[in-house]
């Protein structure tokens, strides 16, 4: 079953038709591939990159010396042999995407491990450029790489760059151009040689494939290796792309291919040729299968079972990489990683690891919440002024009052409200978070927290997506792409909303400071309100783990998958780039979705507040209807109604509550916490109401933007509905529970 459907179709673009060459960009994760991609393509790209990982193929364009190039950034992987989704995408593109040239980016500071991928790709194509990145980091660590020697050994062009320095990329462009122009030339590049018996087996298959299917020697050799390797998913792809039938029991499918082939030839319409053609193909197929069987048998007689064969392949590859690296790398300072290890020892220590993590996050939230106030106020006043002008204009053109009210007080006000309250915090939070990401700290968070998530049968990487959820649940959901296992990814998506986002923090703080701190006053008050907010958040984290565990035991059964996570070297963040990318990729993107929902929602809210039956607005009628359920939860009908109508953005829940209480017809903006407190108390709020509102703020359905994102990421209405139900049911149950306890204690 395919749980997750992802949007990785490479979209068409006008420039694409003009692009003369296609260049693939491959490499291990964390080697600065995306930096190169961004620097080469600028803003000419389709998909943004999320959380340090390119999961879909991102496509961009650049021009060099009058030629247009298409650059395809394929997912970062260590290998293109194993099963993970990214590796499959990467491999399929290199094998079957027909790029003119593949640039493999490697990290100069750990060349040896990176070479493994280079050698794997060198088995598929001759048109490779090796791009050795992070030379500046290597220099700092006193590692030198002899690029010339490397080029001689591998017999491919090697370019050294420092991706963050744009100038160094010129050489890469020059070499790329040359390689594209000479792509048709025959080359003999470095090739991994396996032990004799394996080589012999590969060669036999290679020759057969060349002869019978007229496949080029290089590709034939690679297919030969893969046939012996017996990796199902690769063989399937080979069958599909090259119309070779390899597997035993798949006659039906291949017949289909033949039929298709025949159809395309019907114009010639000589039935006999078709028949002959078909027979020949079937014959070829059979001989290939027979040969395959025989070779595998021969190997087994020599003691090389499929398992041993696989191991030998990988081992030979790694050993080759090791040898090459030894020849070209010089480590002047053996303890080059010392500084990093020292930092790591502190950041992941038993005593300080988790407190430091919490501290980092608290600092980020604090800066976000405090810092966002000023631009928010500014936006409010600007939009407010425009609103007045709009009303004047409407009066001037004699627009009917109901229409101008509906459009201005309904649509316009809600829309600008959402922008004013959402844009500043996101524009602050995401750059800060991206800096943590750039520093290389996020994998450490996953490392620190993995133990807890493992107990919930999940991945430690879920912690990273949860942290992103604190900024914006919608971004957190998209960030779940970093989790490899589809099951664990889905769990992370479904539970992301259990931690409050930026939009909910101010509301939590307001309520806490009115009702919890307000009861005692003084310095103790602010401490108490902070503590209560933190407690609610911790409850959210605990619930995330509990629900994840429950999901793992029920509808998403499974064991935790293997957790192998690289902790990359710390790097200096590129501040400017961080700012630009996080604003364009995340903030604007999310805001766009929010706006798409806010405008119609504004209209609906206005209509419900203004249309009434017998003097009662629809809003009141709904509130009265919800009142019994709300009372059980220790809330009132208006509060629940506000949560429902606040679905476009959590930020407008409080304004709707105030609007209802004040019998207003448009959202109410109130700065004075004291005044808000007065109104709430007059409407029967107690400490219990406050606690339950805080709990329900954390545990209720995701906002519309997040729901849209979940729908997009999972491609399934069912999972979107479940993501809606899980936190809502949690919230209802928890609120009922606290209400019950409260009444028992009080009476």
Q: Does 697 bind another protein (CB under 8 A)?
A: no
Length of the chain: 747
Give the x/- contact pattern for another protein in 42-81, rule: CB under 8 A: ------------------------------------xx-x
Q: Does 620 bind another protein (CB under 8 A)?
A: no
Distance, in Å, from the CA atom of 443 to the CA atom of 251, rounded to the nearest integer, reads: 46
Nearest distance from C-beta of residue 315 to another protein, angstroms: 5
Query: CA 699, 701, 704 angle in degrees (round to 5)?
Result: 140
Interface with another protein by CB under 8 A: which range of 303-311, 403-411, 652-660, 661-669? 303-311
Q: Name which of 18 and 327 has its Cβ closer to another protein.
A: 327
Query: Do 505 and 735 meet the contact criterion of CB atoms below 8 Å apart?
Result: no
Q: Does 562 bind another protein (CB under 8 A)?
A: yes
Distance, in Å, from the CA atom of 54 to the CA atom of 49, rounded to the nearest integer, reads: 6
Nearest distance from C-beta of residue 332 to another protein, angstroms: 14
Token code pair at residue 674: 């004291």
Q: Does 197 bind another protein (CB under 8 A)?
A: no
Q: Does 326 bind another protein (CB under 8 A)?
A: no
Nearest distance from C-beta of residue 569 to another protein, angstroms: 8
Q: Name which of 457 and 710 has its Cβ closer to another protein.
A: 457
Side-chain half-sphere exposure of 52, counting CA atoms within 13 A: 26
Binds another protein by CB under 8 A, chosen from 2, 167, 297, 341: 341
Distance, in Å, from the CA atom of 221 to the CA atom of 206, rounded to the nearest integer, reads: 5
Distance, in Å, from the CA atom of 138 to the CA atom of 325, rounded to the nearest integer, reads: 14
DSSP state of 10: -
Angle between helices 306-328 and 217-229 (to 10 degrees): 130
Distance, in Å, from the CA atom of 486 to the CA atom of 557, rounded to the nearest integer, reads: 12
Q: Among residues 190, 70, 89, which one has the least CA distance to residue 130? A: 190
**In this structure, is the dihedral angle defined by the CA atoms of residues 146, 152, 155 and 156, taken in order, positive or negative?**
positive
CA dihedral 48, 49, 55, 60 (to 10 degrees): 50
> By CB under 8 A, how many residues form the interface with another protein?
49
Distance, in Å, from the CA atom of 239 to the CA atom of 249, rounded to the nearest integer, reads: 13
Q: Name which of 399 and 565 has its Cβ closer to another protein.
A: 565
Interface with another protein by CB under 8 A: which range of 532-540, 566-574, 621-629, 657-665? 566-574
Nearest distance from C-beta of residue 354 to another protein, angstroms: 5
Binds another protein by CB under 8 A, chosen from 294, 349, 385, 395: 349
Q: Does 330 bind another protein (CB under 8 A)?
A: no
Q: Radius of gyration of the chain from Cα atoms?
A: 30
Q: Does 321 bind another protein (CB under 8 A)?
A: yes
84-143: contacts with another protein (CB under 8 A):
109-113, 116
Q: Name which of 164 and 444 has its Cβ closer to another protein.
A: 444
737: exposed, middle or buried (C-beta count within 10 Å: 0-12, 13-18, 19+)?
Answer: middle
Nearest distance from C-beta of residue 499 to another protein, angstroms: 19
Q: Does 256 bind another protein (CB under 8 A)?
A: no
Q: Which three-class secondary structure string do you get for 371-421?
A: HHHHHHHHHHHHHHHHHHHHHHHHHHCCCCHHHHHHHHHHHHHHHHHHHHH
Nearest distance from C-beta of residue 611 to another protein, angstroms: 56
Q: Does 563 bind another protein (CB under 8 A)?
A: yes
Q: Name which of 173 and 356 has its Cβ closer to another protein.
A: 356
Q: Name which of 266 and 315 has its Cβ closer to another protein.
A: 315
Integer CA distances (angstroms), 493 to 107, 466, 478, 561, 689, in order: 32, 9, 8, 17, 30
Q: Does 309 bind another protein (CB under 8 A)?
A: no
Give the x/- contact pattern for another protein in 351-390, rule: CB under 8 A: --xx------------------------------------
Q: Does 82 bind another protein (CB under 8 A)?
A: yes
Integer CA distances (angstroms), 228 to 202, 261, 437, 647, in order: 8, 27, 41, 55
Nearest distance from C-beta of residue 546 to another protein, angstroms: 17
Q: Does 441 bind another protein (CB under 8 A)?
A: no
445-504: contacts with another protein (CB under 8 A):
446-452, 454, 460
Token code pair at residue 200: 């012999």
Q: Does 565 bind another protein (CB under 8 A)?
A: yes
Binds another protein by CB under 8 A, chosen from 189, 242, 308, 318: 318
Q: Name which of 258 and 348 has its Cβ closer to another protein.
A: 348
Q: Does 412 bind another protein (CB under 8 A)?
A: no
Nearest distance from C-beta of residue 225 to another protein, angstroms: 15
Q: Name which of 147 and 337 has its Cβ closer to another protein.
A: 337
Element (H, E) at 426: helix 413-439
Q: Where are the beta strands (DSSP E) in 237-351?
A: 329-331
Integer CA distances (angstroms), 55 to 275, 309, 545, 730, in order: 44, 30, 25, 32
Give me the residues that bind another protein (CB under 8 A), please. Answer: 78-79, 81-83, 109-113, 116, 307, 310-311, 314-315, 318-319, 321-322, 337, 340-341, 344-345, 348-350, 353-354, 443, 446-452, 454, 460, 560, 562-569
């Amino acid at each position: 079953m395919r749980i997750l459907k992802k949007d990785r179709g490479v979209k068409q673009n006008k420039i694409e038709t003009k692009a003369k060459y296609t260049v693939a960009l491959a490499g291990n994760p964390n080697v600065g591939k995306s930096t190169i991609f961004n620097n080469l393509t600028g803003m000419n790209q389709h998909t943004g990159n999320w959380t340090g990982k390119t999961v879909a193929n991102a496509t961009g364009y650049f021009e060099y010396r009058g030629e247009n190039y298409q650059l395809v950034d394929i997912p970062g992987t260590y290998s293109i042999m194993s099963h993970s989704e990214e590796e499959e995408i990467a491999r399929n593109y290199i094998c079957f995407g027909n790029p003119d040239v593949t640039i493999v980016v490697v990290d100069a500071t750990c060349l040896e491990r990176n070479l493994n991928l280079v050698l794997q790709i060198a088995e598929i194509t001759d048109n490779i450029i090796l791009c050795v990145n992070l030379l500046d980091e290597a220099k700092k660590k006193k590692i030198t790489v002899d690029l010339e020697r490397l080029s001689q050994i591998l017999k491919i062009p090697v370019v050294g760059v420092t991706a963050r320095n744009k100038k160094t990329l010129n050489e890469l462009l020059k070499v790329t151009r040359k390689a594209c122009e000479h792509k048709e030339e025959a080359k003999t590049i470095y090739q991994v040689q396996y032990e004799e018996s394996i080589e012999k087996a590969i060669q036999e298959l290679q020759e057969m494939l060349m002869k019978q299917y007229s496949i080029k020697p290089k590709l034939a050799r690679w297919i030969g290796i893969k046939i012996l390797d017996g990796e199902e998913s690769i063989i399937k792809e080979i069958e599909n792309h090259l119309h070779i039938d390899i597997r035993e029991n798949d006659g039906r499918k291949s017949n289909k291919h033949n039929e298709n082939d025949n159809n395309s030839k019907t114009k010639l319409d000589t039935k006999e040729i078709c028949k002959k053609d078909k027979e020949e193909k079937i014959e070829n197929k059979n001989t290939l299968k027979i040969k395959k069987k025989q070779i595998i048998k021969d190997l087994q007689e020599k003691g090389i079972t499929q398992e041993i064969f696989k191991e030998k392949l990988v081992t030979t590859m790694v050993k080759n990489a090791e040898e090459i690296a030894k020849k070209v790398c010089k480590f002047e300072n053996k303890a080059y990683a010392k500084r990093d290890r020292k930092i790591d020892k502190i950041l992941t220590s038993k005593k300080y690891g988790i407190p430091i993590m919490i501290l980092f996050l608290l600092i980020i939230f604090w800066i976000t919440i405090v810092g966002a106030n000023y631009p928010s106020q500014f936006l409010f006043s600007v939009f407010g002024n425009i609103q007045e002008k709009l009303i004047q204009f409407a009066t001037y053109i004699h627009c009917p009052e109901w229409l101008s009210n509906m459009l201005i007080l309904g649509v316009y006000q809600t829309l600008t409200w959402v922008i004013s309250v959402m844009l500043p915090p996101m524009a602050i939070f995401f750059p800060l978070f991206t800096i943590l990401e750039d520093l290389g700290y996020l994998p450490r968070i996953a490392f620190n927290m993995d133990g807890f998530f493992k107990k919930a049968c999940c991945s430690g990487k879920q912690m990273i997506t949860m942290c992103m959820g604190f900024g914006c649940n919608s971004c957190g959901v998209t960030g779940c792409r970093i989790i490899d296992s589809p099951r664990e990814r889905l769990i992370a998506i479904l539970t992301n909303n259990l931690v409050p986002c930026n939009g909910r923090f101010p509301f939590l703080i307001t309520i806490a400071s009115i009702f919890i701190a307000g009861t005692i006053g003084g310095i103790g008050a602010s401490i108490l309100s902070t503590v209560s907010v933190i407690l609610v958040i911790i409850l959210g984290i605990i619930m995330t783990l509990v629900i994840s565990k429950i999901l793992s035991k029920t509808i998403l059964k499974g064991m935790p998958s293997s957790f192998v996570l690289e902790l990359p070297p710390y790097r200096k963040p590129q501040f400017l780039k961080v700012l630009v990318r996080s604003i364009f990729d995340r903030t604007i993107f999310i805001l766009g979705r929010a706006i798409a929902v806010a405008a119609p929602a504004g209209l609906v809210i206005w209509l419900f507040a203004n249309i009434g039956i017998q003097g009662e607005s629809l809003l009141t009628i709904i509130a009265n209807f919800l009142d019994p359920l709300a009372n059980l939860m220790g809330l009132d009908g208006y509060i629940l109604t506000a949560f429902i109508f606040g679905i476009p953005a959590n930020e407008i829940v409080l304004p709707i509550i105030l609007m209802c209480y004040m019998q207003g017809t448009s959202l109410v903006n109130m700065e004075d916490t004291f005044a808000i407190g007065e109104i709430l108390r007059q409407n029967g709020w107690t400490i219990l109401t406050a606690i339950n509102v805080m709990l329900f703020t954390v545990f209720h359905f995701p906002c519309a933007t997040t729901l849209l994102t979940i729908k997009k990421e999972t491609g399934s209405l069912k999972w979107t509905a479940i993501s809606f139900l899980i936190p809502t049911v949690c919230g209802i149950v928890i609120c009922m529970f606290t209400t019950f306890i409260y009444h028992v204690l009080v009476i």
